[in-house]
Structure 1
Amino acid sequence: MGDSSLLRELRGERADTPTVWFMRQAGRSLPEYRSLREGTTMLDSCVRPDMAAEITVQPVRRHQVDAGIFFSDIVVPARIAGLGVEIKPGVGPVFDHPIRTEADVDALPPLDDVYDAALAPIREAVGLTVAELGTTPLIGFAGAPFTVASYMVEGGPSRDHLRTRALMRSQPEVWARLAAWVAELSGRFLRAQVLAGASAVQLFDSWVGALSEDMYVSSVQPHSAAALAHVADLPVPRIHFGVGAAHLLSPMLGAGATAMGVDHRLRLDQALDLLPAGTPVQGNIDPAVLFTSEEVRFAEARAVLAAGSAASGHVVNLGHGVPPDADPQVLTDLVSFLHEQGTARA
């Protein structure tokens, strides 16, 4: 597995042909996923080892991407820990009881051996997935403390995260305790996946772009670092990705990542100017081109390869996740095109 193109690129060793996988490649865009999951809730499917493994493998089988991303959700660890949370269709994750006071934090369940034992279905699912993937590496993932804690404070999705940002400023000690709890939650979740066979991890911070750099460094970075520290002693690359976070690339890397994901708002060559020399990058085809012509898509792919050509390692991805209404054949053809670009990339 160590010689796979994904791991080589994440170590800063250029492979012969472009390496590609897509965030949210497993899930709603695939008819085989919808068929398999019929009658099963999203979160229930995440804790059924056989189903989670099959869903993870489906896009690798169909698109011939160079990595699987473990099928789960950023709120799965919270549910496993005992919190009431569901994913409501058309809305997203919704918590039964928002966390907004010191008493709410006091009532959070302990994260101890009981929680580790409850991760058994996740370890089993990873084991099944790795066996099925063979020489294709699996990426484990978890939600970063700011994003998961924001869902917990807001009670569900939020456009501006005002309650969360207000809590961070008005009750910093309550925020720090909540973020530390989430860091432990996500960190143990990451470690369980790696020990079960995942070859790399990605920490998603979907909403972190809402923060200033000062607020991130003072109130979030230490907790993201605590989450990533759970796997820092293991020989796996650690990718960190945030949405709208161009101004946070350097401090996010400083949280303990070994590679940085870049969304579609910033060209990779510009991202490289902001990052320390030698930092591997991931990204960042605009998901919007999936709904354009083949000519436009392939031109975007070539532009992204060119922008990332100076990186020590470059894993091609979208600048965010696969939209649910994307045509799977478009993704398959894009992967094939990228894999044909070896000579131009070299």
Structure 2
Amino acid sequence: MSFDYINALLKKPTTRTPIWVMRQAGRYLPEYRATRKQAGDFMSLCKNPELACEVTMQPIDRFDLDAAILFSDILTIPDAMGLGLYFSEGEGPKFERPIQTLADIEAIPAEVNNDLTYVFDGVSTIKSALGTRAPLIGFSGSPWTLATYMIEGGSSKTFAKIKAMLFNEPQMLHLLLDKLANSVIAYLDQQVQSGADSLMVFDTWGGVLSKQNYLDFSLDYMQKIVSGVKAKHPNTPITLFSKNGGKHLGEISATGCDGVGIDWTVELGDVERQIGDKVAIQGNLDPAVMYATPEIIRAEVKKVLDQFKGDTGHIFNLGHGITPDVDPENMKVLVDAVHEFSAK
């Protein structure tokens, strides 16, 4: 299989800079909103392989994207662990039974893939629908990010509960993170077996930690995942993305991953100079640029591309997910501009 996205991740020559966008299948697309309404709710959509395939393919059918990403959610593993995941309108994910005690952690099942067959069925269904059009990215949340939701009981601004555990009961938190890392390895292994061509680990909340705590409670477990998955699938590229992780780039690039995702708070050229000889770099246009006029979007794309000096090893992306109220026409402007300017 020869795709610019895979070649860029492996630091091989590409015909142009490949692009995919975090949350490219999502609420900014009217066809996605229609399919979600048909499913009934978000998790019902995730758990229906045919509908998950449909929404994964929607942006591929509409835009000239270089990769598809599995339509799922990072909280599938905690959900399978029996924490009672539900979504409240306007408030995001919540858990009926958040982790509070050592007994709660010890009670978590070590093996959850049997309850996640809908994800693997989704991967194989999407892979079949994609054919040779584009590679398929599988993904998971990082152990630290999953643990924040499991301990806080949902989204948080202060992370008070998990940070209290980090300082007061560090061994308890390490036990949870280790269990999660093992579950993620098994989960990603099965995604590759089902047809995923590359993998992403999303560490959405790694950036809320101090340097040493990030290394000890987040990156160490992502390192374990990279090693565990690579032991089984040495040729499957893995990208790590820590939001606000710009101060840890050297350490992230030393994990054995193939790509490092960066947000818009760091300069692509600076990142290339720091780690570009080690890994491919994914990023990093500010998602808010998507609210601008087509002319400004094109100009901002050119700025990002002009920062990167190498001819391989860059995957264009937003610095985080595309937001729900973006005009889909602006996505076309973005994708076409990346291809037009990089092909030159």
Q: TM-score, normalised by structure 2?
A: 0.95
Please state whether the residue corresponding to 1:302 is helix, strand or coil: helix
Q: Name 2:117's counterpart in structure 1.
A: 120
Cα deviations by residue, 1:200-233 (Å, 9 ceiling, x for unpaired): 0000000110111211122222211222333213
Q: Name 1:209's counterpart in structure 2.
A: 207
Q: Is the 8 A contact 2:142 2:222 kept in 1?
A: yes
Cα deviations by residue, 1:218-275 (Å, 9 ceiling, x for unpaired): 2222211222333213121100001111112222233342110010111111112332
Q: Name 1:134's counterpart in structure 2.
A: 131
* Pairwise CA distance, 1:310: 2.6
* Pairwise CA distance, 1:83: 2.5
Please state whether the residue corresponding to 1:264 is helix, strand or coil: coil
Q: Is the 8 A contact 1:190 1:230 kept in 2?
A: no
Separation in structure 2 between the aligned mates of residue 206 and residue 151 of structure 1, nearest angstrom: 11
Please state whether the residue corresponding to 1:127 is helix, strand or coil: helix
Cα deviations by residue, 1:274-329 (Å, 9 ceiling, x for unpaired): 32624210001111110011121111101111122337410000010010111111
Separation in structure 1 between the aligned mates of residue 169 and residue 229 of structure 2, nearest angstrom: 30
Is 1:228 the counterpart of 2:226? The answer is: yes
Q: Aligned pair in 2 of structure 1 residues 12, 78: CA closer, same or farther (>3 Å)?
A: same
Q: Aligned pair in 2 of structure 1 residues 47, 34: CA closer, same or farther (>3 Å)?
A: same
Separation in structure 2 between the aligned mates of residue 77 and residue 108 of structure 1, nearest angstrom: 11
Amino acid at match of 1:202: M
Q: Name 1:91's counterpart in structure 2.
A: 91
Please state whether the residue corresponding to 2:58 is helix, strand or coil: helix
Moved over 3 A (4+): none
Q: Name 2:24's counterpart in structure 1.
A: 25
* Pairwise CA distance, 1:45: 1.2
Amino acid at match of 1:231: V
Q: Aligned pair in 2 of structure 1 residues 309, 273: CA closer, same or farther (>3 Å)?
A: closer
Amino acid at match of 1:335: V
Is 1:321 the counterpart of 2:326? The answer is: no
Cα deviations by residue, 1:94-140 (Å, 9 ceiling, x for unpaired): 111221321221221232xxx23333222211111011112210000
Q: Is the 8 A contact 1:4 1:137 kept in 2?
A: yes
Q: Is the 8 A contact 2:70 2:139 kept in 1?
A: yes
Q: Name 1:144's counterpart in structure 2.
A: 142
Aligned runs of 1:1-346 on 2, under 5 Å? 1=1, 3-38=2-37, 39-111=39-111, 115-135=112-132, 136-232=134-230, 233-234=232-233, 235-275=235-275, 277-310=277-310, 312-344=312-344
Identity %: 34
Q: Aligned pair in 2 of structure 1 residues 343, 117: CA closer, same or farther (>3 Å)?
A: closer
Please state whether the residue corresponding to 1:230 is helix, strand or coil: helix
Separation in structure 2 between the aligned mates of residue 48 and residue 199 of structure 1, nearest angstrom: 21
Instruction: Give unmatched runs, 5+ long, in structure 2.
Output: none
Which stretch of the first structure deviates more once superposed, 124-133 or 84-93?
84-93
Instruction: Give unmatched runs, 5+ long, in structure 1.
Output: none
Please state whether the residue corresponding to 1:146 is helix, strand or coil: helix
Q: Is the 8 A contact 2:297 2:333 kept in 1?
A: no
Separation in structure 2 between the aligned mates of residue 226 and residue 17 of structure 1, nearest angstrom: 33
Q: Is the 8 A contact 2:24 2:322 kept in 1?
A: yes
Separation in structure 2 between the aligned mates of residue 86 and residue 227 of structure 1, nearest angstrom: 27
Please state whether the residue corresponding to 1:100 is helix, strand or coil: coil
Separation in structure 2 between the aligned mates of residue 24 and residue 230 of structure 1, nearest angstrom: 26
Q: TM-score, normalised by structure 1?
A: 0.94
Separation in structure 2 between the aligned mates of residue 208 and residue 194 of structure 1, nearest angstrom: 25
Amino acid at match of 2:214: Y
* Pairwise CA distance, 1:196: 0.6
Q: Is the 8 A contact 1:262 1:284 kept in 2?
A: yes
Separation in structure 2 between the aligned mates of residue 215 and residue 277 of structure 1, nearest angstrom: 27
Separation in structure 2 between the aligned mates of residue 121 and residue 240 of structure 1, nearest angstrom: 24
Cα deviations by residue, 1:21-67 (Å, 9 ceiling, x for unpaired): 00000111111111011152211211111011111111111112010
Separation in structure 1 between the aligned mates of residue 145 and residue 82 of structure 2, nearest angstrom: 19
Q: Is the 8 A contact 2:301 2:338 kept in 1?
A: yes
Amino acid at match of 2:172: V
Separation in structure 2 between the aligned mates of residue 61 and residue 98 of structure 1, nearest angstrom: 39
Q: Is the 8 A contact 1:29 1:327 kept in 2?
A: yes
Q: Is the 8 A contact 2:257 2:279 kept in 1?
A: no
Q: Aligned pair in 2 of structure 1 residues 101, 125: CA closer, same or farther (>3 Å)?
A: same
Amino acid at match of 2:12: E
